[in-house]
């Protein structure tokens, strides 16, 4: 297939595909799916070999958020029966993090619900970062605390944070349909603040919220412009009690096409399969490792994930290996730039985001496919780990 040969060639050169090419990946048939996975897999292996980076989430503060993000079980007005608790003490957070590190995670992601941290919250998280780093030598720490005010990213960097996560989630044109209490521009500003402070930027998306193919391509191209070092790809977990509880638009095949498109657009970036892989990829999860080089180990913020030991078995059975603590995740040209390579360096030839590719001009807006099968049995609220007396899943 000429399209896939072109995309592999561009991916090995770090050249951005055209929008038409990215849309064409999402439009490929199930008959061509293995060819798509194989092509994107060549790009993934070129930059990351067969390594899989493990990340571990610690939910520092759960529920009671004043924002109205429609996808989130912690949102204002959520009726989801999730764990609700205020800030974990640093030692408790460190113990939770240690379980993930013992399971093979080299990055711990500290997440707190809310619009954004107060200066006191930043001090609190700084203490937590110190406790985790003191007790887990060499571990990376990524903070995810919402919208940042001026100077807060610098303070997190000074406290020892290595990275900051803030997802764009969906396209700018549809963002107002998902959230009204803050703007898409607010999110972009926070990612830019993290970059400016020297933190490794982590920003991704959520698929499955009823978006079109064009929306998916828009948000991934926007992410490429922001040039994060890692791009988490979340698949919506339709939690009961949230406005998007009835949104079941994803199939394993569509999830694989989305991951392949992200890999082609972001060839040398850490692409992470994040929330929802168990719900929507299901038995196709091992195939997705050919596209992404990073996953979360164990549970998510408010929902349960696959058992930690099953994650490790899946990685080994698929012929991949867990990335060691002493290994550098990013390719040399990005890592040598402090983990945040310049846009021009990382995307040679990507200044043209429009234009016809090998597949012609972009088609009209494509609606999200409808899925007959609804697997609510795979959506399980987290009842263990951080904020409970039960052992975490790691």
Q: What is the set of active-site residues?
A: 65, 69, 72, 109, 142, 202, 272
Per the CB < 8 A criterion, the answer to whether 241 and 73 are in contact is yes
How open is the CA angle 242-273-228, to the nearest 5 degrees?
A: 100
Which positions ≥6 away from 227 have C-beta within 8 Å?
195, 201, 340, 341, 342, 343, 346, 347
Q: What is the largest CA-CA distance in the chain?
A: 57
Which positions ≥6 away from 174 have C-beta within 8 Å?
211, 215
Per the CB < 8 A criterion, the answer to whether 62 and 83 are in contact is yes
User: From CA 303, how far away is CA 382, in angstroms rounded?
Assistant: 4
User: From CA 316, how far away is CA 280, in angstroms rounded?
Assistant: 21
Which one, of 332, 166, 302, lies nearest residue 241 by Cα?
302
Which one, of 343, 338, 353, 281, lies nearest residue 314 by Cα?
281
């Amino acid at each position: 297939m000429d399209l896939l040969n072109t995309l592999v060639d561009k991916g090995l050169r770090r050249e951005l595909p055209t929008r038409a090419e990215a849309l064409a990946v999402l439009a490929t048939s199930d008959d061509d799916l293995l060819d798509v996975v194989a092509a994107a897999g060549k790009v993934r292996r070129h930059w990351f070999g067969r390594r899989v980076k493990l990340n571990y989430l610690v939910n520092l503060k759960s529920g009671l958020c004043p924002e109205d993000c429609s996808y989130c079980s912690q949102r204002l007005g959520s009726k989801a029966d999730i764990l609700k608790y205020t800030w974990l003490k640093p030692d408790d957070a460190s113990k939770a993090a240690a379980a993930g590190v013992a399971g093979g995670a080299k990055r711990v992601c500290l997440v707190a619900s809310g619009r954004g941290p107060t200066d006191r919250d930043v001090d609190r998280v700084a203490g937590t970062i110190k406790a985790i780093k003191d007790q887990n030598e060499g571990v990376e720490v990524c903070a995810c605390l919402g919208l940042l005010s001026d100077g807060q990213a610098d303070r997190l960097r000074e406290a020892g944070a290595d990275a900051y996560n803030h997802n764009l989630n969906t396209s700018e044109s549809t963002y107002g349909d998902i959230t009204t209490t803050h703007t898409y521009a607010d999110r972009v500003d926070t990612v830019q603040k993290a970059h400016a402070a020297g933190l490794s930027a982590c920003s991704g998306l959520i698929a499955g919220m009823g978006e079109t193919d064009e929306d998916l391509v828009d948000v991934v191209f926007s992410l490429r412009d922001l040039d994060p070092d890692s791009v988490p790809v979340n698949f919506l977990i339709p939690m009961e009690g949230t406005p998007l509880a009835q949104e079941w638009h994803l199939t394993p095949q569509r999830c694989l096409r989305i991951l392949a498109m992200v890999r082609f657009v972001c060839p040398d970036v850490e692409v992470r399969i994040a929330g929802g892989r168990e719900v929507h990829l299901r038995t196709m999860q091992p195939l997705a490792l050919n596209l992404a080089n990073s996953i979360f180990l164990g549970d998510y913020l408010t929902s349960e994930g696959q058992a930690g030991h099953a994650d490790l078995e899946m990685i080994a059975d698929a012929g991949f290996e867990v990335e060691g603590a002493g290994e550098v995740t990013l390719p040399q040209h990005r890592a040598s730039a402090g983990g945040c390579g310049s846009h021009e360096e990382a995307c040679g030839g990507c200044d043209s985001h429009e234009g016809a590719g090998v597949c012609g001009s972009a088609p009209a807006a494509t609606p999200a496919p409808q899925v007959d099968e609804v697997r609510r049995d795979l959506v399980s609220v987290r009842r263990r780990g951080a904020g409970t007396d039960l052992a975490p899943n790691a």
